[in-house]
Structure 1
Amino acid sequence: MRDINIKAIEYFETVARQGSVGAAAAELGVTPSAVSQQLRLLEGQFGVRLFRRERRKLILTQEGEILYQTATQAFGAIRNARGAITRHRDLRNLILRVSPSFGVRWLGPRIGAFLADNPGWAIRVDATQDFTAFDTETIDFDLRYGHGEWAGLSVTQVMHDLVIPMCSPDYLLRLRQLSDDPVEQLRHATLIDSVKAQFRWDLWLAMMRIDLPDLTYPMAFDRSSMSLELARQGMGLALDSVNLCLADIRRGDLVPLSTDFEVIDFPAYWMVCPPRHMNRRIVARFADWIADRAHEHEAEARDCLAALGCRFRQAAPPGTP
């Protein structure tokens, strides 16, 4: 590519498109002689004639037509790329990473309102269980589910989690037909395991001082959304986040196993990024917005559970150093 005279090709493409040296010179802001000189250099480099004159008009030769078609496509692609880069530069971009279930069930229904209030902002959401390696990846921040201790990063609490065993009303009726005792109901239940949850069945049973000697999980999922969906379908009992299924609880599609078991209430969702990222206006704006939405949601969830007769137990996030 080093021996290709890009400037000469630009002048040639302009002449071919305009149909004359004078018009091309006017578009390029140079003299006609400068244009003619570049055309001679280009023809000398290729060793062919690119134009022929017919009745005072410049007509492309066959070789000139080949070069013109290629040059037009190339310069068009470059202009398109320049436009895309300019638009990308001018937009206020935000790239965040979030766990799939939280992204789909909680953030997804709300993100449209943020975009409507902030026109012209471009947002990309990566839904994955993997945390960002900020030193090698271009991500503004993570919305992480976890213990809240990540060294060297800015960590801001976003929302508490509220965890309780839940199932469909029909499944609860079947359990109650076997026993009136919630502990006995647990022993007869099919336990659905959310393997990435902070409070899994073994930890929850230990907190409640319940002994299930043959603890097995016929169904285990790495997505809470799948565990909750199977519970909603009456396939078993899920121990999972009320934050991810508040709408199901309000509709009555999911119900607590028993109000004898307290709702485990612990800080679980965090906004995490390098401290310098918080200096970006768009990051700070989103942080304020999600804090407000999380506060509203927590209040709604607690009111809903309290209306069902649930009580709450404060807990530290499992795995906190």
Structure 2
Amino acid sequence: MQEFQTNKANLTQARLQETRIHTLGDGEVRVKVDRFAFTANNITYAVMGDQLRYWQFFPPNGNEPEKWGIIPVWGFGDVVESNSDALPVGDRLFGYFPPANELIITPKRVTQTSLLDGSVHRAELPPGYNLYQRVNHERGYDRAHDDQRMLLFVLHLTSFCLHDLLKGNDWFGAEQVLIISASSKTSIGLAYGLADDKDAPHVIGLTSNRHVDFVQSIDAYDSVLSYDTLEQIDATKPTVIVDMSANTDVLSRLHRHLGDNMRYTSNVGLTHWDEPRHTEGIIQARSQQFLRPVMYSNV
């Protein structure tokens, strides 16, 4: 059995670790990992691995376990061996997996369509990440759509939660919403959600020069600007920022440009995780890291 492990201190280093086959205990189930998606979202899991406990979901095997970690992924797996009366061989699951050949789970709260992994090391982690869907029991499940689901489900869940955050706080008093890294899948999901909300403020997408035409073509934003032209944004209007990039150069320029009218910034993604970061010019008192686990914990 193999695990794909990443050096927690240097995400550009990885290894395939051979591990022994685990003998199932009472109530345990062996799930063969079939397929999974790996996107910029998974890099966020790694960068925030200690702060948000992502490294704890799948403890690594092999030497130097304190050095290496397993980045969680979203995907599908099939039950190939079961010591649980509630979950038979042949069930297909969608949920949180390690990039490995298999995952051992201890099913609890099993219903016809879902279950939670009750493994001891996951007991104190956000339950939304411990939830698995029994997809063979879903009405209309089509295996042909697995790739789209594992790629987009969690990203559009984040989009939904961001929309809920903004709307639930009355848009933080803003008259316009700025979305940084507007070409990202999570940004696009949020933009479409805001476009469908008649109460939403004006939505501006910020992106690189090479992505401007694409972002304009999806017709989800009220207007689109490149990072080079962000000073064209009307600084007299109260503004809320959703930052998918962690590009602190862009963020500091925006905060300086908007001044007191920068009402709130939600720091979401880390698409620029490998670039130098600074806080100069950033209004930290009105900025907050977006924590989906908090919003996705009432499973």
* TM-score, normalisation: structure 1: 0.27
* TM-score, normalisation: structure 2: 0.28
Question: Which structure has the larger Rg?
Answer: 1
Higher relative contact order, structure no. (Cα contacts within 8 Å, ≥ 6 residues apart): 1
Which one has a larger percent strand, Structure 1 or Structure 2? 2
Which one has a larger percent helix, Structure 1 or Structure 2? 1
